[in-house]
Structure 1
Amino acid sequence: MSITQQHLFDTYRARSLGEPAPPAPGTHDWQVVREWRDERNFRAALAGRPVRSPLRDALRRWRRLT
């Protein structure tokens, strides 16, 4: 069963039971990514390591080369 079929099944079941429909697949993906990043930064801060961003570090290295 694909994720779309599962979502349609869950929506049908929720409607027949009078419950609110579940969110569409992928609705909260960016929120999950942000929470994962925040957790990683928090654990780095607790461990005494610098909180760094790989993208920001790459941009900084690139800027130094030019």
Structure 2
Amino acid sequence: MSITQQYLLDTYRARKLGQPDPPAPGADDWQVVREVRDHRQLRAVVSGRPAHGRIRQTLGRWLHLRRRSTC
């Protein structure tokens, strides 16, 4: 059974029982992504690391080291 079929079945059951419709699949995906990002930033700050630009800093260090080793 696909997600869409399960959603339609759940909606049918909810309406038949007089309950509110369930949320559509994928409706809260972006909210979950934001919450995960915020949690990772919080963990970085608590552990004493910068919360923003960590990937860019790491790539910059790698590129800088690579340039030094080839000279």
TM-score category, normalised to shorter length:
0.7 to 0.9
For structure 1, the 5+ residue unaligned runs are 62-66
Q: Take 2:5 and 2:54, find their aligned partners in 1: how far apart are those partners?
A: 37
Pair 1:43 & 2:35 matched:
no
Larger Rg over CA atoms: 2
The corresponding residue for 2:11 is 11
Give the structure-2-normalised TM-score.
0.72
Give the structure-1-normalised TM-score.
0.77
Q: Deviation above 4 Å: which 4+ runs of structure 1?
A: none
Give RMSD over aligned pairs. 1.9
Aligned length: 58
